[in-house]
Structure formats: C-alpha cells, structure tokens
Amino acid sequence: KNQVEQSPQSLIILEGKNCTLQCNYTVSPFSNLRWYKQDTGRGPVSLTIMTFSENTKSNGRYTATLDADTKQSSLHITASQLSDSASYICVVSPRNVYNQGGKLIFGQGTELSVKP
C-alpha cells in the first residue's frame, strides 16, 4: 500500500535554531517528492519538488534531501523564524500519475512551532 509517514508529529523550537523534519514513504515507483508549507487555515504552498534522481533541493532557508534507496526524505530549516510556524507536509507523486488522474499521496504533516 502506498503510504507516506512523517515524523515528528509536532516540534517546538526556539527562534534562530535549525530543525529537520523526516518523511518515509513506500510509494513505488514514484515520480517526484515535494514538501509543502501550510499555515493555519490556509492552503498548502509548495516549497520544493524533487524527482527520484535528485538528492537535494534548496529554497532559501529550506533544504530538502532525498534518498531513493532508503525511501526517505528530510526537510531542513535553517535559522528558523517565527513565520516558519506552520504544518509541513510531505507529498509523493506515483509515476505515471498523469494517467492516474494526478493523484498524490500525502503525509499527515509535522506541526512546527517556533517560539521567541
């Protein structure tokens, strides 16, 4: 069964600190993996997207890594800011997804809280 599991479920860090969020998936074969940021009461916004052949992708203070062999991805946030407080969602796209209507497999999210 295609699944995406994220850890930790929630995380509290102090402003200025770094943190790393984890994502394990069993989707196979897969086309790409993305990380979304979702502010409370808002829709998710894409942070990074990586194909199965990419190892890392950066977007400002956000760096995503992907190990296709172990089926793991991580999102590293550097020098956290209060505005980083949000839910971070790992999403995997099965290969040939276009023929499957564009379905995506969503993780349950990690709730990050950055405190001053």
Partner 1 sequence: DGGITQSPKYLFRKEGQNVTLSCEQNLNHDAMYWYRQDPGQGLRLIYYSQIVNDFQKGDIAEGYSVSREKKESFPLTVTSAQKNPTAFYLCASRRLLAGGAHTYNEQFFGPGTRLTVL
Interface residue list for partner 1 (CB under 8 A): 4, 9, 31-32, 41-46, 49, 51, 53, 89, 93, 97-98, 101-109
Phi, psi of 99 (to 5 degrees): -75, -10
SS3 88: strand
* Beta pairing, strands 30-38 & 45-51: antiparallel
Which residue lies nearer to partner 1 by CB, 12 or 106?
106
Shortest approach of partner 1 to residue 19 CB, angstroms? 20
Which residue lies nearer to partner 1 by CB, 20 or 106?
106
